[in-house]
Amino acid sequence: MADRPITYREALSSALREEMQRDERVFIMGEEVGVWGGTYAVTRGFLDEFGARRVRDTPISEMVIAGAAVGAAMAGLRPIAEIMTINFAFLALDAIINHAAKVRYMFNGQFTVPLVIRTTTGGGKQLGATHSHAPEVIFAHFPGLYVAVPGTAYDAKGMLKASIRDDNPVLFVEHSTMLQRRSPVPDDPDFLLPIGKSDIKRKGSDVTIVTYQKGLEHSLVAAEELAKEGIEAEIVDLRWLRPLDLEPVFESFKKTNRCVVVEESLPMFNVGAEVAAQIHDVCFDWMDAPVKRVAAMDIPLPYSHEIELMALPSPEKIIRAVKEVV
Amino acid sequence: MAEPIIMPKLGFDMAEGTLVNWTVQTGQAIKKGDVIAEIETDKATIEIETTVEGTVLQLLAEPGDVVAVGAPIGYVGAEGEAPPEGAAPAKAAPAAAAEDAEEPAPAAPVQAAEVAPVEAAETGGDGVLKISPIARRLADERGIDPRHVQGTGPGGRITKKDIEGFVVAKAKAPAAPVAPKTAPAVPATPPIPPEAPRPTMPTFTEIPSGPDVEVIPLSRIRARIGQRLVESKQFVPHFYVTSEIDMAAALGLRQQINASIADEAGRITVNDFIVKATALALRRFPNLNSHYYGDKLVRHARINIGIAVSLDSGLVNVTSYDADKVSLGTMAYNHRDMITRAREGKVKPHEIEGSTFTVSNLGLFDVDHFIAIINPPEAGILAIGSAKKVPVVLEDGTLGVGTRMKVTISVDHRVSDGVEAASFLQVFKELLENPMRLLI
């Protein structure tokens, strides 16, 4: 079957639809997912197609959404809970971290938690500090919870379908400014991507850029600019913050000897900190320069659009960081 | 407002200098251009002139101190003014070291007695040689002492590129000769892989001591010579071609010229003839006037002949700029002046760099001939023996007495081959045997 370029949004929709068609136990719950069709129109038409039993609008309470979803998963259903933005998931941290991530360990695996919590991340839409951060790294801190961060339509579809079919709880993080991005995606209803595998998105020999989601988009732009100056960046798209697959990063680093980590997270205790520490540990004898990090500025994201963009990573910031190490 | 007197940068690769002595005192008024101190660099002892005017307020460095380039060694200000508060002794000045970090020192090996100040200087002030882990590992694998490598990374860090460049520049193997298929008996020499481990410099852990020996720390200039020449012998594939030159005409012409010159300073030496002949011969062989940089040769338009001058402390090359163009008379005067000042430690920085080819002359010391070590990145060096009266076969087949001088050219085989070296010597010989051509 030929791969068709579709949008990130269509990739998510089709993944959900296919999995709901495939498995009766799969259902969707969240704020505005039914009548309204989802805040980002990912579930538009689902209420008509699958009915109110499987597409459930909930009260405006993230703790209720996540808590009920954990219970349903423990009881044998395969819920897909939607939380409008990851910044609101803080309200549901107890259900997500203390319950979804830990309950199997605490009850000796008597049950599984086949739960997917879909949420959106990312700034740049002038929504203010409480809606705009990209704090997915917080959720990746805890063992027991997978954290998916797809950066293309292709990855979004294959990773979401794999998440729904997996028996472990997954926080599935979508980037709110990338829903229109297109890439070719297989039509195959069994198109799955492995959980916890990063992916080389661009080959290069001079510097390794480790990134995901919006950082991937910026890095690809930066890499083309750098290539004009003869600097070839290799881009590793992590795709999952947990399980974190750094093998391709180490392999790439042993070739390039330099690394820049690009992410939209805040700069302290972020993905770059983890990647840098592990490179330092595994690749010390291959290091030619310190690992550099490009992240959001260490401030609550401003409301002013211009200042908000200044506070976020950009291709220019990536180019600057790369030039500091090559 | 007090202004610092700064350790000047007296050569492109100078990272630090030793204060030999001050020629001014605290309280003395100085103006721009006054000689204020003598500084010993890796290459020579040089008088430095002040670039600031006023009264000397404080002399921070003491004779013997090794100070990083850019570090204050004293202060000048208004008469009666106090030197700046907490003016640190120059040898420990961290601010200067930070400035210096932009240009890390390749740095000669350092004697223990000098360690404290020197280390601070060559390492950018934090006591650590700035080198990335992979660069350090590659240097280890290839037997390169990283202190000899110029770091080009941020803050002067030695990076992988610098080590690889060092190997390529100093050790690039010539292409292997390919044995023709028709002659399979000739074995092809396998190419030497550039990453082949290099022999390391021997380290000397235990040295003799006690009443029967005197232990003399190597002077900086001696250490620098040692380091450069070991590198040259290790990395430059030398070959040598010797020729014998009839010097009767040249010596006769010299006598004739000098007889007419009253001023001793203007008299022409044999060496002046040799430098002139070398320069004119190099005009015909521009390849030998080029410098080797790994995969590139830099061919020099100017012919600047380095003249090796022996000093008490070692050796220095003074440079005879445009030796193919400058007249023999001017050249004689310049050479004598430079060589005298070099021996007094008063040579100027530009007079000891910029040479494109070198001549080393031991003619005054009654030697038959000798061979010299190339001064990289130069392509060759000419070693001159003594002009001697020897029995010769004359043109009519009978024996007679002639004046002969043996010269040996050492050539970097990566740059040139035997035929070119021999052809060069032929031209050189023709010039000296027909010395009027050196005057036109």
pLDDT digits (tens, 9 = 90+) for A82-118: 999 999 999 999 999 999 999 999 998 899 999 999 9
CATH of the domain at A254: 3.40.50.920
Per the CB < 8 Å rule, is A287 touching B134? yes
> Do the domain assignments include residue B306?
yes
Calculate the CA dihedral of residues A136, A142, A143, A148 and round it to 10 degrees: -10
CATH of the domain at A155: 3.40.50.970
Residues A45 and A173 in one domain: yes
**What does the pLDDT read at residue B123?**
47
Each residue of B128-149: pLDDT tens digit? 788 999 999 888 888 888 888 8
CATH of the domain at B73: 2.40.50.100
Q: How far is A296 from chain B (nearest CA, A)?
A: 24
For residue B406, the 8-state DSSP code is: E
**What does the pLDDT read at residue B196?**
46
Per the CB < 8 Å rule, is B153 touching A284? no
Q: For residues B374 and A198, what is the distance between their CA atoms, to the nearest angstrom?
A: 54
Higher pLDDT, A145 or B126: A145
**Residues of A involved in catalysis:** 62, 131
From B43, B70, B100, the end of a domain falls on B100
> Do the domain assignments include residue A190?
no
Of B191, B156, B185, give the one whose Cα is nearest residue B172.
B191
Q: For residues B56 and B78, what is the distance between their CA atoms, to the nearest angstrom?
A: 8
For A7, the 3-state DSSP assignment is strand
> Do the domain assignments include residue B137?
no
Residues A139 and A78 in one domain: yes
Question: What residues make up the domain containing B404?
Answer: 238-438
Across residues B222-248, what is the average pLDDT? 92
For residue B200, the 8-state DSSP code is: P
Residues A167 and A205 in one domain: no
**What does the pLDDT read at residue B39?**
86
> Do the domain assignments include residue B205?
no
Left, alpha or beta for B13 (phi > 0: left; psi -120 to 50: alpha)?
Answer: alpha
Residues A170 and A207 in one domain: no
> Do the domain assignments include residue B354?
yes
Is-contact B23 B36, C-beta < 8 A? yes
DSSP helix, strand, coil percent of chain A (3-state; round to 5): 40, 20, 40
Flag whether pLDDT at A257 surpasses 60.
Answer: yes
Residues A178 and A248 in one domain: no
What pLDDT band is residue B169 in, cutting at 50, 70 and 90? Answer: low
- In terms of Cβ atoms closer than 10 Å to its own Cβ (0-12, 13-18, 19+), residue B381 is buried
Sheet containing B315-320: which strands, arranged edge to edge?
A: B238-246, B399-412, B380-393, B357-361, B305-310, B315-320
Chain A residue with minimum CA distance to B132: A288
From B71, B100, B129, the end of a domain falls on B100
From B67, B100, B133, the end of a domain falls on B100
A 275-294 near B (Cβ less than 8 A): 284-289
**What does the pLDDT read at residue A301?**
94
Flag whether pLDDT at A281 surpasses 80.
Answer: yes
Each residue of A24-73: pLDDT tens digit? 999 999 999 999 999 999 999 999 999 999 999 999 999 999 999 999 99
Chain B residue with minimum CA distance to A291: B132
Q: For residues B11 and B94, what is the distance between their CA atoms, to the nearest angstrom?
A: 22
Each residue of A192-238: pLDDT tens digit? 999 999 999 999 999 999 999 999 999 999 999 999 999 999 999 99
> Do the domain assignments include residue B314?
yes
Across residues A151-159, what is the average pLDDT? 97
Left, alpha or beta for A314 (phi > 0: left; psi -120 to 50: alpha)?
Answer: beta
Calculate the CA dihedral of residues B260, B263, B265, B267 and round it to 10 degrees: 10
Per the CB < 8 Å rule, is A289 touching B133? no
Across residues B188-200, what is the average pLDDT? 47
What pLDDT band is residue B193 in, cutting at 50, 70 and 90? Answer: very low
Q: For residues B28 and A29, what is the distance between their CA atoms, to the nearest angstrom?
A: 89
Residues A205 and A181 in one domain: no
Tokens 């520490």 locate to A277
> Do the domain assignments include residue B158?
no
Residues A219 and A303 in one domain: yes
Q: In chain A, how many domains are there?
A: 2
pTM: 0.53
What pLDDT band is residue B92 in, cutting at 50, 70 and 90? Answer: very low
| A173-177, A189-193, B212-216, B283-287, range with the lowest pLDDT | B212-216
From A185, A215, A249, the end of a domain falls on A185
Q: In chain B, how many domains are there?
A: 2
> Do the domain assignments include residue A178?
yes
**What does the pLDDT read at residue A145?**
97
CATH of the domain at B341: 3.30.559.10
Flag whether pLDDT at B234 surpasses 50.
Answer: yes
Chain B residue with minimum CA distance to A280: B133
Is the alpha carbon torsion for B76, B82, B84, B89 positive or negative?
A: positive
> Do the domain assignments include residue B295?
yes
From A185, A217, A248, the end of a domain falls on A185
Question: What residues make up the domain containing A127?
Answer: 4-185
A 47-76 near B (Cβ less than 8 A): none
Counting Cα atoms < 13 Å in the Cβ hemisphere of A173 gives 31
CB contacts, 8 Å: B132 with chain A: 257, 287-289
> Do the domain assignments include residue B142?
no
CB contacts, 8 Å: B137 with chain A: 285
> Do the domain assignments include residue A158?
yes
Q: For residues A109 and A65, what is the distance between their CA atoms, to the nearest angstrom?
A: 23
